Structure 1
Amino acid sequence: MSEDRSGSPDKESKPHKSWLERLGQALQGDLKDMDQLLEVLHEAHRNQVIDIDALAMIEGVLQVSDMQVRDIMIPRSQMTVIERDAEPQAILNTVIESAHSRFPAVGESKDDVIGVLLAKDLLPYFLEGEQPRLNIRDILRPAVVIPESKRLNVLLKEFRANRNHMAIVVDEYGGVAGLVTIEDVLEQIVGEIEDEHDFEEDTQILQHENHTATVKGITPIEDFNRHFGTDYSDEEFDTIGGLVINQLGHLPKRGEEIELAHLQFRVLRATNRQVHLLEVRQLDVPASEPNVGQTGSAGGN
């Protein structure tokens, strides 16, 4: 009588390995450069070892180590600042209108950064509803200043170690070139993070006054054309973000601008993989002419 071997483990009874364990096995080979590593990652995705979200985040981590602050910083021209000698109500208005939580405080110019104002530090001065006696210098936090050549992985480590969320970026001559936040760095890894520019998920075009609109990069060109009365071709690209990237010839940085027909596009937010948000301004429009698309948006409300 043959011995019963049913108690011995078979293939199906082995514990299921996580995608990380299986990826680790794949990475034990002799990898000579980053291109080979990326190919292993893409092969792992094709074999369903990792999903597309995990692949994108791993790629983001790898790319962050090769990127510098200048690649993602908010340019000086787009910085929302608090003036040192501004009246308390003017400071409060700036905070409310911008919806930011941190602001560089400046003296005579944007090159004269004297500290960082946290919006929450204003609360005690406005709780009583009376005109507060506020000296902004008393509540400023020290400003962290970094060169625009600093690598993002180093900056992220410093942000975490020092519990800072914002840094002022200076150029080689010591002038302020812009600013960068911890959110800007994290977006390169995990993708888009909602902020003050965001609007409803099912809305793709948000029309403003003065003939400007905020447009998501994933807006189909067909919907964009319908809203703005344009005739951009969608034969080669499906989305307006793809069209802008093609016209620029590269993945744009925040603040880059381009004119197409009678529209000016400015990149509000982008990562090293995708354009997320655009500001679109109609050019050469008479002041008396109403805004295009005021009655609705391509994505619905």
Structure 2
Amino acid sequence: MDDISTGTLVITLVVLILLSAFFSSSETGMMSLNRYRLRHLTKEGQRSAQRASELLERPDRLIGLILIGNNLVNIGASAIATILGERLMGGLGILLATIALTLVVLLFAEVTPKTLAALYPEKVAFPASIILKVLLKVFYPLVWVVNGISNGLLAVLRIRPSTGGGDSLSSEELRTVVAEAGAMIPRRHRDMLVSILDLEKVQVEDVMTTRSDIKGIDINDDWSTIVKQLTHAQHTRVLLYRDNIDDAVGFVHARDALRLLSKNQFTKSALLRAVREIYFIPEGTPLNVQLLKFQRNKERIGLVVDEYGDIQGLVTLEDILEEIVGDFTTDQAPSAHEEIVPQPDGSYLVEGGISLRELNKEMNWDFPTDGPKTLNGLILEHLEEIPEANISIRLAGYPLEIMDVKDNMVKTARILPQFKKD
């Protein structure tokens, strides 16, 4: 290269450093693209997104092309820098040129362009995809050879690039994406999406109305009593049973009862004929599964039964929907707000039948929910006996005083969260 002027060599060196910066930024930009946004833009018909998506279909070829180009220009830059150093300063110049080129390449061809591409991947990757697609066609034979050797080495390790892990998300990863979406998704919508993902973690017994709280009608009562109960029923579907819940007859819809009343056919036998068959739900069914079963079977309400067929509680479609969207204002059943009464001393009077999930959600407490589902059940499990009133215990770190016990159940307890021990 003795015939080439120093000025030409300097210009060539600058061009090679710029090409190195291009390849470095292209690599980071292409690999930093949000694959889901890229798919969306591709479906919208954006040409640059389609080009980038085509290149990323075979990342081994793309990386091979970028690394071939990057190594070629870096080696070329190193050779020219060596010549320039020798011309200008002799043997010492070669050493200085090597140190100077290393710093220049590191700052201007590696760190800076890669940082820029990581911050703005679309602005870097989309324009670069035009050049990369052309270069892939030009250097395809060389890329094919390099990839063939590389894939052969990977095959020894039983790795096939064409069947990589992909970019699918697990439910936990999707939950993290939704939770960290920030301003892109309104807070209310974000909470609903997370709640939908959490349905698989919640079982029907976590949201059911417990057996003791089911409001039904004993069909063996006097007819006048039955009519009065139907008239004052808080729900559109009422459970009918004989003597006790275990001998359930079925559900009667208020609309059917009203139709019988309007036709002057409102008798006990007519009411029994209007009863709809009971839909039973196995204990332990996840809410996401039960929601689909309600839809498939055209049902809105069912009785939860354990492995022995005993009725444990009642679940409605509304109970599951409330897990997603929150409490409905039309619900006439007692809410968590009514079951938790704050006291002047900072303690809370809590009804024993409250769901532990509702209690934790409402008060931001952390009672265990992997065992009993109600506060009463948790207390009984802890004591292993039916307690008497005015007994104080520490439960899950919370000081708790049993205030009222009735019918073998803890009806009310006083919790002092300010004295909780971790």
- 1:50: Cα distance to partner? 0.4
Q: Is 1:133 equivalent to 2:267 in the alignment?
A: yes
Q: Report the equivalent of 2:319.
A: 184
Candidates 25, 44, 69, aligned match of 2:181: 44
Q: Report the equivalent of 1:273.
A: none
Amino acid paired to 2:303? I
3-state SS in 2 of match to 1:110: strand
Q: Where in structure 2 are the equivalents of 1:205-220 lying within 5 Å?
A: 214-215=338-339
CA distance in 2, matches of 1:253, 1:191: 23
> Could you tell me whether the CA contact under 8 Å between 1:69 and 1:148 is conserved in 2?
yes
CA distance in 1, matches of 2:294, 2:39: 30
Amino acid paired to 1:25? R
Candidates 223, 239, 251, aligned match of 1:104: 239
CA distance in 1, matches of 2:309, 2:361: 36
- 1:145: Cα distance to partner? 0.9
Amino acid paired to 1:246? W
CA distance in 2, matches of 1:182, 1:67: 14
Amino acid paired to 1:89? S
- 1:116: Cα distance to partner? 0.9
CA distance in 1, matches of 2:230, 2:368: 36
Gaps of 5+ in 2: 1-33, 41-165, 349-358, 380-391, 393-399, 406-410, 415-422
Change in Cα spacing, 1:231 to 1:180, as seen in structure 2 (3 Å) is same
Q: Where in structure 2 are the equivalents of 1:5-16 lying within 5 Å?
A: none
CA distance in 1, matches of 2:240, 2:38: 50
CA distance in 1, matches of 2:328, 2:373: 15
- 1:264: Cα distance to partner? 6.2
3-state SS in 2 of match to 1:40: helix
Q: Report the equivalent of 2:291.
A: 156
Change in Cα spacing, 1:73 to 1:138, as seen in structure 2 (3 Å) is same
Amino acid paired to 1:38? R
- 1:254: Cα distance to partner? 7.0
Q: Report the equivalent of 1:246.
A: 365
3-state SS in 2 of match to 1:193: coil
CA distance in 2, matches of 1:281, 1:27: 55
> Could you tell me whether the CA contact under 8 Å between 1:245 and 1:251 is conserved in 2?
no
Q: Report the equivalent of 2:346.
A: 232
Amino acid paired to 1:189? I
3-state SS in 2 of match to 1:99: coil
- 1:23: Cα distance to partner? 11
Instruction: Note the alpha carbon deviations across 1:64-117, whole angstroms, 9 max, x for none.
Output: 123221221111111111222233332232234441111222124211222111
> Could you tell me whether the CA contact under 8 Å between 2:360 and 2:367 is conserved in 1?
no
3-state SS in 1 of match to 2:307: coil
> Could you tell me whether the CA contact under 8 Å between 2:237 and 2:251 is conserved in 1?
yes
Change in Cα spacing, 1:97 to 1:37, as seen in structure 2 (3 Å) is same
Q: Report the equivalent of 2:30.
A: none
Gaps of 5+ in 1: 1-21, 206-213, 235-239, 266-279, 284-301
CA distance in 1, matches of 2:297, 2:322: 20
3-state SS in 1 of match to 2:251: strand
Change in Cα spacing, 1:192 to 1:24, as seen in structure 2 (3 Å) is farther
Identify, as 1 or 2, the structure richer in helix. Answer: 2
Moved more, 92-101 or 65-74: 92-101
Identify, as 1 or 2, the structure richer in strand. Answer: 1
Q: Report the equivalent of 1:75.
A: 210
Amino acid paired to 2:268? L
Count of aligned pairs between the two proteins: 219
3-state SS in 2 of match to 1:177: strand
Q: Report the equivalent of 1:144.
A: 279
Amino acid paired to 1:174? G
Normalised by the size of structure 1, how large is the TM-score? 0.60
Normalised by the size of structure 2, how large is the TM-score? 0.44
CA distance in 1, matches of 2:39, 2:195: 18
Rg: which structure is higher? 2
Q: Is 1:58 equivalent to 2:193 in the alignment?
A: yes
Amino acid paired to 2:313? G
3-state SS in 2 of match to 1:65: helix
CA distance in 1, matches of 2:174, 2:199: 15
Candidates 249, 263, 268, aligned match of 1:114: 249
Percentage of matched positions with identical amino acids: 27
Change in Cα spacing, 1:253 to 1:117, as seen in structure 2 (3 Å) is farther
3-state SS in 1 of match to 2:201: coil
CA distance in 1, matches of 2:320, 2:38: 28
Q: Is 1:30 equivalent to 2:30 in the alignment?
A: no
CA distance in 2, matches of 1:104, 1:75: 14
Higher normalized contact order (CA 8 Å, seq sep 6+, divided by chain length): 1
Change in Cα spacing, 1:282 to 1:166, as seen in structure 2 (3 Å) is same
Q: Is 1:87 equivalent to 2:222 in the alignment?
A: yes
> Could you tell me whether the CA contact under 8 Å between 1:88 and 1:132 is conserved in 2?
no
- 1:167: Cα distance to partner? 0.5
